[in-house]
């Protein structure tokens, strides 16, 4: 969705968000990761899906726009039957497609952790529109078409930063390279979770300035909010996959967010203001 090579390079691999997510999951789940196997992986045109042996599924946006040639994975063997600890490491790959598989695995494991420690993952009833006030300058990184008209009923100061050309946009749309100019002056930033797989998250977040709200949004958003809150994200809004087998079919058939929510997923939100995690 967004390509900003220089911003990618600003994030140190060992201090970036993906490294923190992988490290935190390894710490919380420990040796269990070596016992969980990947049962299925689907890489669709819209989303990438992973199904684990414990019947937990997760998705991540497929970053096809990051490739100028065939994006085939170069693995000598298959991902199926690999243990979760190995596939989880793909989130750190420089290859966006491999990273998408890793992020989808992060999401599946976060769902598992939620069930193992429900007291540590109290969700919020917060809606993204609740965070926007009249007159706010809103920056949307990645085009969330259904949200645009709703935001415009609250404030007219909406700017969409997007690499692709958008047909009949209802608001000001700029190339993603303008993020350095727009984000520091914004009151609310809506950050597509696809920035995780294409490795632009850390660089973009560094440009947030004094924004009152910075929201990570989309089915790719890991429902493991603490590492995001520590970096200044104020809300994480993602999707919990409730019927993993159906998710695999939707991914294979190039289904998008609407189908995920309709047939196999539910929206989940976490608010930094409401977040409390019990000490183990």
Bridge partners of residue 235, in order along the sequence? 215, 271
pLDDT of residue 143: 92
**Rounded distance between C-alpha atoms, residue 162 and residue 169, angstroms:** 11
Q: Please, where are the H alpha helices in 67-205?
A: 84-88, 96-116, 147-152, 179-182, 201-205
Q: Which residues contact 266 (CB under 8 A, 6 or more apart)?
A: 239, 240, 242
**pLDDT for residue 67:** 57
Question: Cβ atoms within 10 A of the Cβ of 230, count?
Answer: 11
Give residue 166's pLDDT: 79
pLDDT band at 230 (very low <50, low <70, confident <90, very high): very high
Asked whether the domain spanning 128-239+266-274 has the same topology as the one spanning 5-120, the reply is no
Model confidence at 6: pLDDT above 70: no
Task: pLDDT band for 3, please (50, 70, 90 cuts).
Answer: very low
Residue 124: CB atoms within 10 A of its CB come to: 18
Coil, helix or strand at residue 82 = coil
Is pLDDT at 225 greater than 80 in this prediction? Answer: yes
Q: Assign 12 a pLDDT band (cuts: 50, 70, 90).
A: low
* Average pLDDT over every residue of 212-225: 96
Of 59-63, 71-75, 193-197, 270-274, the range with the lowest mean pLDDT is: 71-75
Of residues 243 and 97, which shows the higher confidence score? 243
Q: What is the pLDDT of residue 72?
A: 65
CATH topology of domain 5-120: Enolase-like; domain 1 (3.30.390)
Look at strands 188-192 and 265-271 and give their pairing: unpaired
What is the dotted CATH code of the domain comprising 128-239+266-274?
3.40.50.11590
pLDDT of residue 74: 63
User: Residue 233, exposed/middle/buried by CB under 10 A (0-12, 13-18, 19+)?
Assistant: buried
pLDDT reading at 226 higher than 90: yes
User: For residue range 25-69, what is the model confidence (pLDDT) as tens digits?
Assistant: 999 999 999 999 999 999 999 999 999 999 999 999 998 876 555
Strand partners, 173: 160
How high does pLDDT run on average in the chain? Answer: 90
- Spatial separation of the C-alpha atoms in residues 90 and 181, rounded to whole Å: 32
Per-residue pLDDT, 94? 87
**What pLDDT does residue 35 have?**
96
What is the mean pLDDT of the segment spanning 190-208? 94
Q: Helix (H, G, I), strand (E, B), or coil: what is residue 35?
A: coil
Ordered by start, the domain boundaries in the chain are: 5-120, 128-239+266-274
What is the structure's pLDDT at 70?
Answer: 59
SS (H, E, C) 54-66: CCCEEEEECCHHH
pTM (predicted TM-score): 0.90
| pLDDT for res 139 | 98
> Rounded to whole angstroms, how far apart are CA atoms 127 and 124?
9
């Amino acid at each position: 969705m967004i390509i900003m090579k220089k911003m990618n390079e600003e994030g140190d691999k060992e201090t970036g968000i993906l490294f923190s997510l992988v490290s935190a999951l390894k710490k919380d789940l420990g040796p269990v990761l070596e016992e969980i196997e990947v049962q299925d992986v689907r890489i669709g045109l819209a989303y990438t899906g992973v199904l684990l042996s414990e019947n937990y599924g997760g998705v991540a946006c497929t970053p096809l726009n990051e490739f100028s040639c065939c994006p085939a994975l170069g693995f000598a063997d298959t991902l199926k039957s690999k243990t979760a600890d190995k596939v989880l490491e793909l989130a750190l790959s420089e290859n966006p497609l491999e990273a998408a598989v890793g992020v989808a695995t992060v999401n599946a494991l976060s769902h598992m952790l939620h069930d193992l420690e429900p007291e540590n993952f109290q969700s919020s009833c917060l809606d993204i529109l609740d965070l926007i006030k009249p007159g706010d300058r809103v920056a949307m990184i990645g085009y969330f078409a259904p949200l645009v008209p709703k935001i415009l009923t609250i404030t007219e100061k909406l700017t969409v930063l997007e690499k692709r050309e958008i047909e009949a946009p209802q608001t000001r749309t700029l190339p993603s390279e303008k993020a350095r100019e727009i984000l520091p002056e914004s009151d609310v930033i809506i950050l597509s979770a696809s920035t995780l797989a294409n490795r632009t998250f850390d660089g973009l977040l560094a440009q947030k300035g004094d924004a009152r709200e910075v929201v990570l949004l989309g089915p790719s958003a890991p429902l493991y909010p603490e590492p995001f809150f520590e970096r200044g994200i104020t809300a994480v809004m993602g999707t919990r996959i409730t019927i993993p087998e159906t998710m695999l079919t939707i991914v294979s058939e190039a289904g998008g967010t609407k189908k995920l929510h309709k047939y196999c997923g539910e929206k989940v939100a976490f608010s930094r203001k409401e977040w409390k995690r019990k000490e183990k």
